[in-house]
């Protein structure tokens, strides 16, 4: 069973993998590079990745994926659309879907993915990542809003991997109790919450020094790498140290 409780008919030996999730693409490339035959246009790591591209996470080229004859297709419940996952299954392909909302879930999910979906052992980099995140949470806490888009403004809400990453680094999401996971919030309301910090990642919206911080006058802004904030893969090894440097405190 994958993370969503659906059985995936993965063969005993897996030699051809298509990944529809950038984090999982990087994870497989670091562990079973020869097995990866397809990935999305958004899969940017490793930089020298040379596989067939199958369009985006939200609009994968289902025909191309089928032609690649993968033993398994890797997907994610948040990043990929249910209708695309079901269409791939309808073609007789084994699809393994992850669901990851916390750092601990990332370790558990990736361990299961490699063991059952990729038919290989847990990689050493995953052990290193888990060790990197063993440090206790800071006692001193700061509050933050975490925009992921503007026009309209959208922020990180409840039950997200991003929110858990920051929580473990001493930064509490002011919208963690919102009923939506990525709510649309007017800018005036974000500023009125008076956070200690505004965290601005470079994906999915590419916030930068001259695009984002000016909207939060008087509030410290931390420009961070989305790969370290939102990806669950080899980047987890360096993420705690890198993010601490980016958010300060």
Give yes or no on whether 17-122 and 142-247 have one common fold.
yes
8 A C-beta contact, residue 64 and residue 54? yes
Residue 139's pLDDT is 86
Reported as a single tens digit per residue, the pLDDT across 93-118 is 999 999 999 999 999 999 999 999 99
What is the pLDDT confidence band of residue 249, given thresholds at 50, 70 and 90? low
Q: What is the CATH number of domain 17-122?
A: 3.40.50.1980
- Of the listed ranges 65-74, 130-139, 210-219, the least confidently predicted one is 130-139
Average pLDDT, the chain: 97
Across residues 126-148, what is the average pLDDT?
A: 95
Mean pLDDT of 72-92: 97
Please, what is the Cα angle at 235 between 203 and 39, to 5 degrees?
65
Q: Please tell me the distance from the alpha carbon of residue 216 to that of residue 220, in angstroms, as a whole number.
A: 8
* Cβ-based neighbours of 27, under 8 Å, separated by 6 or more: 110, 113, 123, 232, 233, 234
Tell me the CATH architecture of domain 142-247.
Answer: 3-Layer(aba) Sandwich (3.40)
pTM equals 0.94
Domain ranges of the chain: 17-122, 142-247
CB 124: neighbour CB atoms within 10 A? 10
User: Are 18 and 37 spatial neighbours (Cβ–Cβ below 8 Å)?
Assistant: yes
Retrieve residue 120's tokens: 């290989």
Q: What pLDDT does 33 receive?
A: 86
């Amino acid at each position: 069973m994958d993370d969503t409780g659906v059985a995936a008919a993965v063969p005993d030996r897996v030699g051809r993998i298509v990944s529809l999730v950038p984090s999982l693409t990087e994870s497989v490339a670091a562990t079973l590079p020869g097995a990866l035959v397809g990935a999305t246009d958004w899969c940017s790591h490793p930089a020298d990745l040379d596989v067939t591209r199958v369009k985006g996470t939200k609009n994968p080229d289902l025909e191309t994926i089928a032609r690649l004859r993968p033993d398994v297709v890797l997907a994610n419940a948040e990043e990929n659309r249910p209708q695309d996952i079901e269409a791939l299954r309808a073609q007789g392909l084994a699809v393994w879907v992850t669901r990851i909302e916390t750092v601990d879930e990332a370790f558990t999910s990736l361990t299961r993915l490699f063991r059952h979906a990729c038919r290989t052992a847990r990689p050493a980099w995953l052990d290193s990542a888990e060790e990197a995140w063993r440090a206790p949470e800071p006692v001193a806490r700061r509050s933050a809003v975490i925009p992921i888009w503007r026009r309209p403004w959208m922020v990180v809400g409840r039950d997200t991997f991003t929110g858990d990453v920051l929580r473990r680094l001493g930064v509490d999401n002011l919208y963690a109790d919102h009923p939506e996971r990525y709510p649309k919030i007017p800018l005036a309301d974000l500023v009125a919450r008076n956070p200690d910090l505004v965290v601005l990642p470079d994906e999915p919206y590419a916030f930068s020094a001259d695009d984002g911080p000016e909207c939060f006058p008087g509030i410290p802004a931390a420009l961070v790498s989305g790969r370290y904030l939102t990806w669950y893969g080899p980047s987890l090894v360096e993420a705690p140290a890198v993010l601490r440097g980016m958010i300060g405190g």
